[in-house]
Structures are given as C-alpha cells and as structure tokens.
C-alpha cells in the first residue's frame, strides 16, 4: 500500500504534521502545498535532509496539484496570517476564504479520499468543506476536540498523579470557547473521576478553564501551537491507514443538530465509521446543545 498524504498549508502546524508523519513512518508519499512556493519547497528540502536518519524512505513533492488526484488523505492546515486571540471564531473570515480556494481544486482533481481538517475554527471549516466537496458522509472530519481531550487528560493526570494515558474521557462540543469537559465520561483505572479522593476538593471549573485556555497559554508564550495538534493529526492518519477502528474525539456530523461538532467517533479506512453518542446528564447535554448552536450560528456567516 502506497500511503499518500497531501498537506495543504505549510505553516507551523502543517510543517509539524509533515515532520510527525515522516518520523513516525506513517506515510510513503507526501505532497506539500502552500501559497508561498518557497515555503513548501524549503519544507520539502529539510524533510529530505532527514532521509539518512529515519528508518523509511518517503517520496516528497510540493505544489504539484496533480498529486491531489491520487492522495489517500488530504490534511487541511491553512491558517490565518496572524493569531492574536484565543477565540478561534475570529479567524473565520480569513480562513474560510482560504479554504474555499482549495475545494474546487480538490474537486477538479477528482479527489476521492479522506479529508482531515485542522484549520480553525475547526468545526465550522469542517462543515464548509464537507458541503463543498460532497464526499460520502464521514470522509470529511476535523481534529475537533481530540487535542482538548488530551489537554484534559494532562490536567486530570496531574491532579491525581497518574499518567495522562491512564485517563479516559472527552472534551465535547466546539473546538473553541463553548467546549466543555464531559466530567461524566472521565474515568481513571475504571473509577469515575468523582470517585477519586482528590475530586472532593478539586476546583473543576478552574480545571476546565485551564483546559480551554491551554492553547492560548502556549500561543502567547511561543507565538503558535503545533506539537499537540500535529501529534493528534498523525494519530488520525494512522487510524485511517491501518483501519484501526479506534475512538477519537473528532469534529463529525451530528444529525440531531446538523453541525460538525467534537464528539467520540470510530475512525477507520473511510474516515468516520460512526459517531458514539455517549449519554450525558442534563447539564452536560445543555452545554452540548449550546455549543452546537454556536457552531451553527458561525456557519451561517459563510453560507
């Protein structure tokens, strides 16, 4: 199997996704695209400079739109010219216009694979791409709250003094300000979070705020965020290529609300196999519905 991935957008995120795919031996053919040809070319060259030090051989090209016709997975990673706010919805006007230029190119190339969207606001852009490309349901999905769920595991793991990998559970809703921790889903060692002694004195509201602003804390310090989301995207690529049938919190269509929104979903060769609507208590269900409304309202601005 020739695992072919195209990455559209070679900024910090796109470049780190490329690095992750190559160093983790998750791709055989990598096509890079950027509006700045020199940027895509330089990323190609630097990745090729690693060839003698990695355990696989990867064919890499750049800005060759013919490659879109044979890519198995396209990763949309275009970003705004400048990010100065933690509210991702403020990026919508610029990023939706950028993404809109690529949908016709993908259609003209006859792209018929899986598209994973990273571009923010993730849920709204994913909706836009799904409607523009009109691929079978599940083929277009976003990274959604996969990174936010990882941040939750970090925060909970620190509180309980356990490895984050031992924490199960989800952040649901928009990859943005209206997201929330579904505390009812959080489990460690088979116990619900509320059963751990530390939970009795934990400030869950503050923990949730720390999780929500995690990306902003990174961005305000170093100027961008990329390691976490690149790793999340690489995991999703691996799940598609290996037909893993693994569950991730991604931005997938919720037919009840008619929006793409962060929720658990089973990921395999054709993208989202099915979503997994976990039962939520009334208060969390209200937060989920409110977040869906935020996404729907934002989407109307670009319709």
For the annotated catalytic residues, the residue numbers are: 175
Between CA 72 and CA 111 the distance in angstroms is 8
> Residue 98: which H helix or E strand, with range?
helix 92-109
List, as own/partner pairs, every contact residues 1-4 make where C-beta atoms lie below 8 angstroms and the sequence separation is at least 24, other chains included: 1/28, 1/241, 2/28, 2/29, 3/27, 3/28, 3/29, 3/72, 3/241, 4/28, 4/29, 4/30, 4/31, 4/67, 4/70, 4/71, 4/72, 4/73
- 8 A C-beta contact, residue 226 and residue 147: no
- Four-CA torsion 41, 43, 45, 47, nearest 10 degrees: -150
> Token match 């658990």: residue?
264
Report in angstroms the alpha-carbon separations of 33 from 42, 46, 63, 195.
11, 15, 5, 49
């Amino acid at each position: 199997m020739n695992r072919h991935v195209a990455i559209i957008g070679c900024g910090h995120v796109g470049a780190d996704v490329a690095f992750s795919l190559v160093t983790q031996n998750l791709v055989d053919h990598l096509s890079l695209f950027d509006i700045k040809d020199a940027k895509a070319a330089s990323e190609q060259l630097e990745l090729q400079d690693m060839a003698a030090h990695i355990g696989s051989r990867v064919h890499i090209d750049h800005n060759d739109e013919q490659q879109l016709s044979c890519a198995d997975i396209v990763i949309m990673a275009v970003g705004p010219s400048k990010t100065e706010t933690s509210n991702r919805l403020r990026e919508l006007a610029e990023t939706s216009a950028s993404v809109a230029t690529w949908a016709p190119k993908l259609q003209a190339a006859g792209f018929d694979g899986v598209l994973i969207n990273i571009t923010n606001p993730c849920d709204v852009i994913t909706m836009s791409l799904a409607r523009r490309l009109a691929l079978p349901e599940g083929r277009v999905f976003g990274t959604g709250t996969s990174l936010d769920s990882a941040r939750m595991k970090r925060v909970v793991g620190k509180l309980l003094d356990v490895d984050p990998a031992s924490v199960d559970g989800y952040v649901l809703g928009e990859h943005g300000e209206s997201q929330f921790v579904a505390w009812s889903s959080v489990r460690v060692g088979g116990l619900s979070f509320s059963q751990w002694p530390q939970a009795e004195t934990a400030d869950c509201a503050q923990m949730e705020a720390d999780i929500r602003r995690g990306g902003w804390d990174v961005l305000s310090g170093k100027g961008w965020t990329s390691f976490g989301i690149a790793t999340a995207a690489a995991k999703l690529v691996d799940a598609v290529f290996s037909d893993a049938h693994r569950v991730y919190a991604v931005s997938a269509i919720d037919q009840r609300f008619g929006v793409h929104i962060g929720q658990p979903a089973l990921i395999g060769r054709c993208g989202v196999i099915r979503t997994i609507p976990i039962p939520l208590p009334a208060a969390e269900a209200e937060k989920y519905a409110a977040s869906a409304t935020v996404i729907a309202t934002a989407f109307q601005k670009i319709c």
